[in-house]
Amino acid sequence: MTAHETLPSRRSRRDDDGRSARPAPRRRQTVGGAIVSLIAELLIIAGAGTGLYVVWTAWWTDVVAVNAQTKLVDGLGQKDTSGTGTEHRGPAPVLAEPPNVTDVFGTMQIPRFGKDYERPIGEGTDREKVLNTIGLGHYQDTAMPGAEGNFAVAGHRVTYGKPLNQIAELKTGDDIVVRVTDAKTKFDVWYVYKVTDSQIVTPDHVETIAPVPNKPGVEPTASDRWLTLTACHPMWSAKERYVTHAKLDYWMPASEGTPKELSETTK
């Protein structure tokens, strides 16, 4: 009985539920109710915001990046060349490494990723400046395409245009076709690489992009003209890296024609 008397709010609520809606107790109740509904509304807003963030990451960044990357490919002014040229297997012409991070110097096509797969390659692996915008980024100070050593390229597995989304589908012998173009020096050459192997490592395994992959300190020879792709693994995680190596098969000046690998239908 005494407890009941010290809890006026409970009594007033009972009054309210019971017979009449007296103004005074009703008002005291709305204070508590208002706080609860404010918290509820803030939770709804937070939930909606989080949901929107997921939509933005998983979808909108792709829309923006694919659009930008298509423009960059067009901006290189690469002309379609007809016919299938000679497959050169000797020492290849090599473009000097671009001086500035974000310089776009070529494109990559991978038939396994679809006929329309063509992405620009930018200099550097800065996340904001290169990977989030240009897409594929060339590790600075690794070899350029066609050169002895390892042409190493990083790209997002998910979000921001996800250029290496399907990296795990690459099989031994698959083609990776790189075209390096420099309008100023009229440099325009195709390089066709064949996938040799893939590995899954933790992100500290820098020897995967050594001049001779996984043999740091070994000098590359004429037969060591590698290409390495690195992407996140598993998808949406930063825990590991999916690394795919490929070896140069042949090169061809773009003026001579287009590699047959690009006209073949996807296996």
Partner 1 sequence: MIFPFVWRILPGPAALKVIELLVLLAAIVFVLFTWVFPWVAADILPPPDGTVDVTPSP
The letter for the amino acid at 125 is T
- List helix spans (H) across the chain: 2-5, 8-18, 23-55, 61-75, 260-263
In the DSSP assignment, the letter for residue 60 is I
Of 94-102, 115-123, 148-156, 257-265, which segment contacts partner 1 by CB under 8 A?
148-156
- 141 contributes a contact to partner 1 by CB under 8 A: no
Torsion of CA 147, 143, 106, 247, to 10 degrees: 60
Instruction: Among 4, 14, 34, 91, indicate the residue that binds partner 1 (CB under 8 A).
Output: 34
The answer to whether 208 and 196 are in contact (CB under 8 A) is no
- 236 contributes a contact to partner 1 by CB under 8 A: yes
The letter for the amino acid at 18 is G
Of 19-27, 108-116, 121-129, 219-227, which segment contacts partner 1 by CB under 8 A?
121-129
Binders of partner 1 among residues 59 to 98 (CB under 8 A) are: 60-61
Nearest residue to 77 via CA among 201, 233, 216, 183: 183
- 37 contributes a contact to partner 1 by CB under 8 A: yes
Tell me the C-alpha to C-alpha distance, in Å, between residue 84 and each of 66, 81, 87.
Answer: 29, 9, 9
Of 35-43, 92-100, 174-182, 249-257, which segment contacts partner 1 by CB under 8 A?
35-43
- 43 contributes a contact to partner 1 by CB under 8 A: no
The letter for the amino acid at 41 is E
Measured from the CB of residue 42, what is the shortest distance to partner 1 in angstroms? 8
Q: What is the contact mask toward partner 1 in residues 185 to 204, using x (rule: CB under 8 A)?
A: ----------------xxxx
Q: Which residues pair with 122 in a beta bridge?
A: 104, 137
Chain residues in the site for partner 1 (CB under 8 A): 34, 37-38, 41-42, 45, 49, 52-53, 56-57, 60-61, 125, 127-128, 131, 137, 139, 154-160, 164, 201-206, 208-209, 230-232, 236-238, 241, 243
